[in-house]
Structure 1
Amino acid sequence: MYSYSDFDEQFVRARVAQFSQQVARRIDGSLTEDEFKPLRLMNGLYLQLHAYMLRVAIPYGTLSARQMTQLAYIAETWDKGYGHFTTRQNIQYNWPELKDVPAMLEALADVQMHAIQTSGNTIRNVTADHFAGAVGDEVADPRPVAELLRQWSTDHPEFQFLPRKFKFAVTGAEHDRAVIKAHDIGIQIVRNDGGEIGYRILVGGGLGRTPMIGKVINDFVPGEDLLPYCEAIVHVYNRLGRRDNKYKARIKITVHEHGIDAIRDLVEARFAEIRPEFSGVDQEMLRGIQAQFALPELTSGGAGAYDDAYAADPVFRAWADTNLTAHRHPDHAIVTISLKAHGATPGDATAEQMRVMADLAERFSHSELRISHQQNVILPHVRKADLPQVHKILAAYGLGTANIGLVSDIIACPGMDYCALATARSIPIAQQIATRFDELKIEHEVGPLQIKISGCINACGHHHVGHIGILGLDRAGVENYQVTLGGDATETAALGERAGPGFSAEDIVPAIERLVLAYVDLRDSADETFIEAFRRLGMAPFKAALYPEERVKDAA
């Protein structure tokens, strides 16, 4: 894991001291809320529906056991005893008092963490594949690149007041687990025909009220050119991006209005200007960063204990089938810890649960954890021999749900329970869907199926790229839930298609039940996933399941 340099340490401490003074001035009335707003946003502090919310950066989703323990301490000391892990690989505290925020930031700095640029019209927390460095399908670990981008973008003087927020995602594998096509800039590490490692760059992806899939702007950028090329892209956007309408200010609109070819020409022209002045990525510095992400020393043997438990214990077997991913080392596994126990709030973890996960990481996963954009937690390097014990401990603390990738593994934004922008509730709908399918006991029979829920058109729940997407809206003061089908967040990314009229809060769960049961009947085998069946059959049979009354009308 990356460890702060002296510069990092001094920079973060200076920002904490600066913001502490700004908070004091807000409390004593020297600053109005309007004057304070841009200052707090630069430091990850929002004013939500009921209270302030502090969003803490977890760069590229990587955490140490010590850091997770500190997050637990912060949750119980200055919040209500829990934290919420987000689709941006961050953690949010929903109930801090303004007077306590400086102390929270000091506590974060003590473990090399911060909340800088987790909000505002700047380059946000850089996200990455949550299995980075552990899976076997990588060209290279994307985290050193993400760390390089973090260092370059933090407090970059040109990019602190962009037309709108700006998001990067990086993957090192052909299979996209970082949703790079739905980001302002998506980066995929690739090899060219000569075997050289470089970067495939996409621009203009994003969700929200105008969802778009990113477009390739350059198929291969050499390693030494990555930063000046990204700088050229953001520079062009900063010049062209609209500031007259915040709903049309993202780079996806800029690319759409000007066309990818025109944007590419402008980027190449800017790149040609700055490349001679840019010394390139300091390779010695990059090698130093890469060394901090080296695979830990993994031991062999002991897999027999796993095999015995798998054969003897059906509960463990169900968990292993859904929550484990193959590791590059044959005697290890990647463990995904579900923060989606049936009926729980997706992404929430109590302070006690955080401490349990930190302890497991220290004992069994080389003190390392990851946060996924699916709002779950990962132990990336666990010996197979230790898996039965890990599962037993997780189950004792409500963390052993065997549902990763299944119906109840739902991505959900905070919705109207917390967010001032939300127009409908997300959390209760997610809880009701998960509870209903737990009652039906068919999740494992249904198999992989991604449901994503947003409580407003801003799409923080990524509903556009859910196999089943749910968008909560306000219709004349009444919650109304639209359903989209066929979304995809992987390398074959696609935006879901709206199925038809929305459903009331009372009707949405039965509608999803009808839809999923219809899929089970429609698929050509137990191995055909929902997204495969939808692409084969199209919208019509699924729409018929959602709106059975329409079939009655047609028959009449």
Structure 2
Amino acid sequence: MYRYDQYDHLIVRERIAQYRDQVQRRIGGELTEEEFVPLRLQNGLYMQRHAYMLRIAVPYGLLSSAQMRMFAHIARKYDRGYGHFTTRQNIQFNWIELEQTPDILADLASVEMHAIQTSGNCIRNITSDEYAGVAFDEIIDPRPYAEVLRQWSTFHPEFAALPRKFKVAINGAETDRAAIAVHDIGLTVLRNEAGEIGFQVMVGGGMGRTPILGSVVREFLPWQHMLTYIEAVMRVYNQYGRRDNKYKARIKILLKAVGVEEFTRQVEAEWADLEGSASTLTTDEMARVAAYFTPPAYKTLPETDPLAGHEDNKAYANWVKRNVKRHKVPGYAVVVLSLKKTGVPPGDATAEQIDFVAELADRYAFGELRVTHEQNLVLADVEQSLLFTLWQEVKARGLATPNIGLLTDMICCPGGDFCSLANAKSLPIAAAIAERFDNIDFQHDIGEIELNISGCINACGHHHVGSIGVLGVDKDGSEWYQVSIGGAQGNAPAIGKIIGPSFSALQMPEVIGRLLNVYVRDRQEDEHFAATVQRIGVAPFKEYVYATPIKAGQLVGEDEYV
């Protein structure tokens, strides 16, 4: 993984010193809160309902065991004993005291981490495939390109005050696991007919108040021009993006207003002045960065059956089926550690669990681990022969729920319990649904399905691209929940469609149950939920859900789901 060079160390140290002075002036009354807001946001510090929240950058979701241990240290010393992994592959701490934040940033710097550009109207954390470098269907490892983007975008003076926040994702595999279609810029690695590497460039994707799938503005961009072309996109957005209305300030609104063809023409015109400039990538520069991402010292191992000798262990078999993924190197496997145990807020991990996962990374995965944008953790390089031993260990620590990709593997933002922007609480809804459907056999029968929950229109819970999406809304001062269906990410992305009027919190588990009833009744063999919605439409689901009144806490017999 990437290690800081002298420039990284210098700019992070200088930023900490600058921020420490700003905090002291705020506490001393020399800075008003209005003056301090942009300064703290530049360092990832938000004011939430009850305390400050600090968001720490995890570039493209990749962590060392030492960095993971630092999270455990921060959770114990500065927070309330836990952290929250987010859909941006970052981590948040929700109970931070302002006076301690400079010390937290100094602690982070000791393990080559920071919170720079995790907030504000700038280019945010670059995200990527959580299986980058080990995915069996990978065309090329996207992490060196993501790292180049990180270095280029950090403190970029021209793009430090954009009309609105800006998110970039890059995918290097045949399967899109980075949700590139709902990013401001989404890059997909391709090989052309000559075998040359380049990118398909999508622009203008996003969720929030106006969910839109990105549009392709360049079918094939040679890799050497990645930075210059993105710079051209950013310049057009920076010049013409709206600054008079933050709800219409994202690049997706600009692209929709002028049209894809005109936007592309403007970008190409801007790029004509940048093509071949100093930002053009060279083979030497890419080799320099790629050297940080060389494969670990894999052993020569035979392919083995993880279930051999454990055929009668149903719990282990379920875990292998859902949480163990194919690795491109024979004899190894990718393991997903579920942070979705029933009764625990999705994405939360205690300091003890964080320390434990760091230890696992050292013993099983060459000292590295990943954060997924589904709010789980990944050990990317586990020997197949060690899977049963690993399963026993993670099961004892509550990290082996065999639900990856299933109903209770929910994406969920912190919602109204923490966030001052939220219209409604999301964590209690996730908890009620998880408790209602906490039956692994039932979840396996239903099959893969994404249930995503957001507490407000900002869509931090990615509800727009959930098979079932739940959005918290304010209805006459009360908390209600709007439901959409048919959303999808991946190679066939889609924005979900709202089924009708909103529901109360107590009605939500039954609403989910009725939607599942229709899916099981009408799906074709091996058909995903989104595909069923696309084929039969929203009407059958809406009719069944609203056919009879839903009483608060109403239960449906399990036989109705099969």
TM-score by length of 1: 0.97
Partners of 1:440 and 1:507 in 2: CA distance: 22
- SS of 1:311 mapped into structure 2: coil
Partners of 2:129 and 2:510 in 1: CA distance: 34
List per-residue Cα deviations over 1:162-183 (Å, max 9, x = no partner). Answer: 0000000000012110000000
Whether the 8 Å contact between 2:167 and 2:183 is mirrored in structure 1 is yes
Whether the 8 Å contact between 1:302 and 1:384 is mirrored in structure 2 is no
List per-residue Cα deviations over 1:216-255 (Å, max 9, x = no partner). Answer: 0101111111101000000100000000100000000000
Aligned amino acid, residue 540 of structure 1: A
Aligned amino acid, residue 514 of structure 2: R
Shift of the alpha carbon at 1:508? Answer: 1.2
Deviates more, 1:527-536 or 1:149-158: 527-536
Partners of 2:291 and 2:418 in 1: CA distance: 41
Whether the 8 Å contact between 2:302 and 2:330 is mirrored in structure 1 is no
Q: Work out whether 1:386 is the aligned partner of 2:386.
A: yes
RMSD: 1.4
Partners of 1:286 and 1:524 in 2: CA distance: 46
Q: Work out whether 1:124 is the aligned partner of 2:124.
A: yes
User: Equivalences for 1:220-231 in 2 at 5 Å?
Assistant: 220-231=220-231
User: Equivalences for 1:147-546 in 2 at 5 Å?
Assistant: 147-278=147-278, 280-301=280-301, 304=304, 306-438=306-438, 441-525=441-525, 527-546=526-545
Partners of 1:456 and 1:532 in 2: CA distance: 26
Whether the 8 Å contact between 1:302 and 1:385 is mirrored in structure 2 is no
- SS of 1:198 mapped into structure 2: strand
Partners of 2:41 and 2:26 in 1: CA distance: 14
The corresponding residue for 1:105 is 105
Partners of 1:199 and 1:536 in 2: CA distance: 32
List per-residue Cα deviations over 1:146-198 (Å, max 9, x = no partner). Answer: 10000000000000000000000000012110000000000011011111000
The corresponding residue for 2:556 is none
Aligned amino acid, residue 503 of structure 1: F
Deviates more, 1:321-330 or 1:284-293: 284-293
Whether the 8 Å contact between 1:303 and 1:385 is mirrored in structure 2 is no
Shift of the alpha carbon at 1:549? Answer: 2.3
- SS of 1:381 mapped into structure 2: strand
Whether the 8 Å contact between 2:403 and 2:440 is mirrored in structure 1 is no
Aligned amino acid, residue 358 of structure 1: A
Whether the 8 Å contact between 2:26 and 2:32 is mirrored in structure 1 is yes
Aligned amino acid, residue 516 of structure 1: L
Partners of 2:212 and 2:531 in 1: CA distance: 21
Q: Which runs of 4+ in 1 moved over 4 A?
A: 302-305
Instruction: Tell me the percent identity.
Output: 50
Partners of 1:333 and 1:114 in 2: CA distance: 30
Shift of the alpha carbon at 1:304? Answer: 4.7
Partners of 2:353 and 2:302 in 1: CA distance: 28
- SS of 1:483 mapped into structure 2: strand
List per-residue Cα deviations over 1:299-326 (Å, max 9, x = no partner). Answer: 2336557332541311110101001110
Whether the 8 Å contact between 1:411 and 1:461 is mirrored in structure 2 is yes
Partners of 1:17 and 1:167 in 2: CA distance: 27
List per-residue Cα deviations over 1:63-120 (Å, max 9, x = no partner). Answer: 0111101111111011111000000011001001011101110110000000000000
Shift of the alpha carbon at 1:24? Answer: 0.9
Partners of 1:88 and 1:538 in 2: CA distance: 31
Counterparts in 2 of 1:273 and 1:440: CA distance versus 1, 3 Å:
closer
List per-residue Cα deviations over 1:196-223 (Å, max 9, x = no partner). Answer: 0001100000000001000001011111
Q: Work out whether 1:5 is the aligned partner of 2:5.
A: yes
Whether the 8 Å contact between 1:40 and 1:46 is mirrored in structure 2 is yes
Q: Work out whether 1:37 is the aligned partner of 2:37.
A: yes
Partners of 2:379 and 2:108 in 1: CA distance: 22
Partners of 1:113 and 1:150 in 2: CA distance: 13
Partners of 2:97 and 2:40 in 1: CA distance: 13
Aligned amino acid, residue 378 of structure 1: V
The corresponding residue for 1:554 is none
Partners of 2:156 and 2:302 in 1: CA distance: 49
Partners of 2:318 and 2:510 in 1: CA distance: 26
Aligned amino acid, residue 363 of structure 1: R
Aligned amino acid, residue 150 of structure 1: R
Counterparts in 2 of 1:433 and 1:67: CA distance versus 1, 3 Å:
same
In the comparison of the two structures, how many residue pairs are matched? Answer: 550
Whether the 8 Å contact between 2:60 and 2:146 is mirrored in structure 1 is yes
Aligned amino acid, residue 249 of structure 1: A
- SS of 1:453 mapped into structure 2: strand
Aligned amino acid, residue 12 of structure 2: V
Aligned amino acid, residue 163 of structure 1: P
Aligned amino acid, residue 433 of structure 1: I
Partners of 1:439 and 1:392 in 2: CA distance: 20
Aligned amino acid, residue 534 of structure 2: R
Partners of 2:303 and 2:263 in 1: CA distance: 53
Aligned amino acid, residue 537 of structure 2: G
Partners of 1:504 and 1:440 in 2: CA distance: 26
Shift of the alpha carbon at 1:343? Answer: 2.0
Counterparts in 2 of 1:279 and 1:511: CA distance versus 1, 3 Å:
closer
Partners of 2:91 and 2:440 in 1: CA distance: 32
Shift of the alpha carbon at 1:33? Answer: 0.6
Whether the 8 Å contact between 2:78 and 2:100 is mirrored in structure 1 is yes
- SS of 1:166 mapped into structure 2: coil
Consecutive unaligned residues in structure 1, runs of 5 or more: 552-556
The corresponding residue for 1:549 is 548
Whether the 8 Å contact between 1:309 and 1:317 is mirrored in structure 2 is no
Whether the 8 Å contact between 1:309 and 1:316 is mirrored in structure 2 is no
Partners of 1:394 and 1:362 in 2: CA distance: 14
Aligned amino acid, residue 359 of structure 2: D
List per-residue Cα deviations over 1:373-403 (Å, max 9, x = no partner). Answer: 0000000111111111111111111111110
Counterparts in 2 of 1:370 and 1:440: CA distance versus 1, 3 Å:
closer
Whether the 8 Å contact between 1:136 and 1:327 is mirrored in structure 2 is yes
Partners of 2:37 and 2:442 in 1: CA distance: 48
- SS of 1:158 mapped into structure 2: helix
Shift of the alpha carbon at 1:530? Answer: 1.6
Shift of the alpha carbon at 1:521? Answer: 2.3
Aligned amino acid, residue 183 of structure 1: H
- SS of 1:35 mapped into structure 2: helix
- SS of 1:312 mapped into structure 2: coil
